[in-house]
Structures are given as C-alpha cells and as structure tokens.
Amino acid sequence: MPEETTDELMHATYRALCKHGYASLTMRDIADESSKCKATLHYHFDGKRDLLVSFLEFLNERFTRKIAAIDADDPTTRLFALLDVACPDDEADDSDMFQTAMLELTAQAPYETGYRDRLREFETYLTGEFESVLRTGIDAGVFDDGVDPERTAEFLLTTINGTQTRRAAVGHDAAEMRQMIYDYVETTVVSDESPRRTEVHAE
Amino acid sequence: MPEETTDELMHATYRALCKHGYASLTMRDIADESSKCKATLHYHFDGKRDLLVSFLEFLNERFTRKIAAIDADDPTTRLFALLDVACPDDEADDSDMFQTAMLELTAQAPYETGYRDRLREFETYLTGEFESVLRTGIDAGVFDDGVDPERTAEFLLTTINGTQTRRAAVGHDAAEMRQMIYDYVETTVVSDESPRRTEVHAE
C-alpha cells in the first residue's frame, strides 16, 4: 500500500474513533472518513482489529517522531518536554472522545495480542527515554543522585497511565494531574542545587 | 430483595466476571453462578448494566468496610494500611481476569452514567480518606509540613489507577508498582524526623 494511502487511512481511523468510539466502530465508518471504499480497506486489512493494530503502530511512530524533534540539551528541560509529549494537555474538541476510545482499546489488550504488543512497545520506548534523560541528569549533577532512573521511569509511566484512565473514565481534570506529575519531578528528581530549578518553576 | 439474596447475586457476579470477562457477560452466566434462575435476576434488575451498577455499589460498600476495619492510630501505619487496601497485591488465580473485567467496565464509564457515578463515589471516598490521614500526620509532625494533603491524595489516586490499568492491560507487575508508591510516600510524605520511618521501611 502506498505511504500516502496508509497515512490517509490512519487519519480516517483517528476521525472515525473520535466520532464513533471503539466498540461500535466499523470498517464502513473508517471508509466514510476517507476517499477509499470499504472494499479497499478489506483488501488491505483483515478487519477492524488488524487495522487498529496498524493504527497503534502509526501512533507509536508519530510519538517517536515528536520525541526525536525535542530540541533540548539540558536534562531538566528535556525531561519536562518528554512529559509534555507523553501527557498532553489537549483542548481539541474531539480529544475526550479519542481518549475514551483509546481506553476502550487498552481494555481489550488482554484479549488482543496485537494491541498488547503495540502498547508494550510504546511503554518500553517511553520508559527508555525517561531512564536515559534521568541518567544524564544525575551524571551532570542537576538531578538528585538518590534517584533510581529505572524505578522513577516506571513510576512516571504509571502516573501518566493513571492520568489518562481517570481523564477518560471519570472526567478528572488532566491539566491538574499533569501539574502534580511536574510537582513530583521538581520535588524528588530535580536537585535543590540545580540552577534550572527556579527557571522551570517560573515557566 | 432480602439481603442474603443480594449478597449471593453479587458474589455470583464476581465469579461470572472472573470467568467470562465484561463484554461477553450475560445474565445467564450470573444466574449459573447462583442458586437463582435467570427470571429471578430479570425480576430484580433491568439487565446486565443495572445489575453491574449494583455490583459497583457492593464493591464500594465492601471497600468502605475494609477501610473502617483498619485498626491503626498512628498516621504512617494508617496511610500504608490504606494503600494496602486500595492497591492490593492479590495473588488469587481469578484476580487477573477480574482486573481485566474491571478495566473494561471502567472504559464503559463514559457511556454509562451509573458506572461513572459509582466510580466517582469511590474516588471521592478514597481521596477523602487519604486527605484526612495526611492532615492528621502533618498536624502530629510525622508527615512533612510541605505536603499539600489535597494534591497528594489526588496524586496517590492517580498512581493507583495507573497501577491497575498497566497491570490489566499489559501485565505489568503490580507488586513492583505498589512498592514504587510506597517509596514515593516514604520519600515525600513521611518526615525525615519521624520515628516511624525506619520502622515502616524495615517491614
């Protein structure tokens, strides 16, 4: 399949999920959001689940590109930039519906190996990025040397997962929860001696 | 409906969720786990969703009783006991399947007001308990007085939600994540001067 077709179908899938949620989503709904017909979708994908596995790959790739685009040398700025990308404070109209659809899809991961593997890839990638910036910051003396990079990276991922679940399920304020993750990082990760601390705090 | 009937049906619902998960669960599956017939269930409940709203109420009540049974005066012991109840490290065979079913149910909360209201009640109750023990500990001088009880309670709830989501969706180790929540509490909440700190750490 040509790259622009894949790209078009993935954007169509995003719009269809925003409109219909996960459970009731059909191949027709996705086709309706694209210039392709339902038969073309069935030619390229074995069904809705197969298409959604490709959609998760598409989201992982897009996420990786956003991380790669972060232009920050110093560890504190880079750590907060990672948090911004991983825990976006998105005010787009369709965003709540999309978060709801993603929670439904996540809840199907125990039954769908394809979903679970893609979600695990995402988690492994993101914890790796957190770990790496934490090690760099500790070595540079701007992060507290009592911080365990591996455990802290896992803890950050857990708090991000919790933020997404509570936002979608009970409508808890995402911006407020993100601020608490920032506070946690400032209190327990960023060294008291770091010159960046006050700067970041003031942003 | 007599209390023992309700109780029997709620335990039957628990077993049926452990066996069948949420999506494919039927009123017949629940009846099969009880001494009642399907018609009796339909007489008392409008359907699966109505029955599951009662099941969430049953879980909330059971949780409230467990919290009420905590016999600990000092704030540090009480805070860790609350975490034990809220984030159980359950090794029961059916437990993974139940967590999966609960994540599916949670993912339906945006569509089901009855689910959402019960989940919110649970969150409000639990954050209230966390807030209360945090205030008591700060007043008693055993918790750091820089701790914001309201925000810390919300942060703990977010980490507990994240633990449950990651456990069910990608099979991440719950005991490891719970230990990270303990570490967070010991590092940021329990005051360095508290005599309980070493004691709890050694447990």
The three-state secondary structure class of B16 is helix
Token pair for A90:
């998105």
Domain B1-55: assigned CATH number = 1.10.10.60
DSSP-assigned beta bridge partners for residue A190: A143
Lowest-confidence region among A36-45, A80-89, B89-98, B178-187:
B89-98
Q: Do B107 and A151 touch (CB under 8 A)?
A: no
In chain A, residues 175-194 whose CB comes closer than 8 Å to chain B:
176-177, 180, 183-184, 187-188
Q: For B52-64, how does the pLDDT look when each residue is reduced to its tens digit (9 = 90+)?
A: 999 999 999 999 9
Domain A70-202: assigned CATH number = 1.10.357.10
Distance between CA atoms of residues A130 and B187, nearest Å: 20
Q: Is B111 on the interface with A (CB under 8 A)?
A: yes
pLDDT at A41 over 70: yes
Q: For A70-102, how does the pLDDT look when each residue is reduced to its tens digit (9 = 90+)?
A: 999 899 999 999 999 998 876 655 578 899 999
Higher pLDDT, B96 or A125: A125
Domain ranges of chain A: 70-202
Q: By CA distance, what is A102's nearest residue in B?
A: B107
Distance between CA atoms of residues A10 and A57, nearest Å: 10
Distance between CA atoms of residues B7 and B142, nearest Å: 41
List CB contacts (< 8 A) between A20 and chain B: none
Q: Which of A13, A85, A92 is nearest to A56 (CA)?
A: A13
DSSP state of B172: -
Which of B109, B154, B187 lies closest to A169 in CB terms?
B109
Amino acid letter for position A56: L
Distances (CA, A) of B192 to B125, B148, B185: 29, 17, 12
Which of A106, A176, A187 lies closest to B165 in CB terms?
A106
Q: By CA distance, what is B23's nearest residue in A?
A: A108
